[in-house]
């Protein structure tokens, strides 16, 4: 959260930039704001938080305060069929799903672009799974194009990857069984001689 007050010609300390302050939002959605005390901004949109703080500041500041609410940093996770899955800290105000995939090294050849899942938690803590089709040009106007705090992007593997995983597991089991049987037969033949 960043707050600034405008500069006037009567100000004794003229600077080219207004004074900016940043405030940390705690896990309960509160900020500790000088003079105003603890303010609950959790669950508010950016503009709602800005307006609430402006209204409260007007009783203490003669000029109209300028309040700019923005995310300083947040985390997202990218998992599934990407080159480098992991959790990423976002330092700019917003990131879209394409940028998130690029941070994870893009999808592997086994990733299904039409079956990407976005897992998002709402204000009540309920998680919802949103299917996304990255082949659809309308993805850029989707409300899910820009990611939010704690979003998880999951790239579903295609059938080839799933089939290969099944083959490698069953192949390993068969080689183990055949190897054990050959050893057992060799042992019996050796003992019988």
Identify the CATH number of the domain in which residue 61 sits. 3.30.1950.10
One domain, residues 123 and 146: yes
One domain, residues 62 and 13: yes
How many folded domains does the chain comprise?
3
- CA angle 92/102/46 to nearest 5° reads 30
Give the DSSP per-residue string, 89-156.
EE-SS--BHHHHHHHTT-B-TTEEEEEEEEEEE-TTS-EEEEEE-TTSGGGGGSTTSB--TT-EEEEE
pLDDT at 1: 55
- CA angle 86/87/91 to nearest 5° reads 135
Q: How far is 49 from 3, CA to CA, in rounded Å? A: 11
Structural Rg of the chain based on CA atoms: 28
pLDDT at 160: 73
Query: Which residues of the chain fall below pLDDT 70?
Result: 1-20, 123, 161-172, 174
pLDDT at 87: 94
Which of 32, 53, 68 is a domain's end point?
A: 68
What is the extent of the structural domain holding 105?
74-157
One domain, residues 102 and 44: no
- List the 74-80 sheet strands across, edge first: 86-90, 74-80, 152-157, 111-121, 127-132
């Amino acid at each position: 959260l960043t707050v600034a007050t405008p500069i006037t010609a009567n100000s004794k300390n003229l600077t080219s930039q207004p004074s900016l302050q940043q405030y940390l939002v705690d896990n309960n959605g509160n900020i500790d704001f000088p003079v105003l005390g603890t303010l609950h901004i959790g669950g508010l949109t950016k503009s709602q938080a800005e307006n609430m703080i402006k209204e409260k500041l007007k009783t203490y500041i003669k000029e109209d305060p300028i309040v700019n609410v923005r995310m300083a940093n947040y985390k997202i996770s990218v998992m599934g069929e990407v080159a480098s899955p992991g959790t990423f800290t976002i330092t700019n105000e917003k990131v879209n799903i394409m940028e998130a995939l690029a941070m994870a090294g893009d999808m592997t050849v086994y990733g299904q672009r039409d079956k990407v899942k976005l897992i998002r938690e709402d204000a009540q803590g309920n998680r919802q799974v949103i299917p996304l089709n990255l082949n659809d040009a309308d993805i850029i106007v989707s409300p899910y194009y820009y990611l939010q705090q704690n979003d998880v992007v999951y790239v579903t593997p295609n059938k080839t990857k799933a089939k290969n995983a099944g083959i490698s597991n069953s192949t390993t089991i068969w080689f183990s069984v055949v190897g054990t049987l050959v050893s057992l037969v060799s042992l019996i033949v050796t003992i019988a001689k």
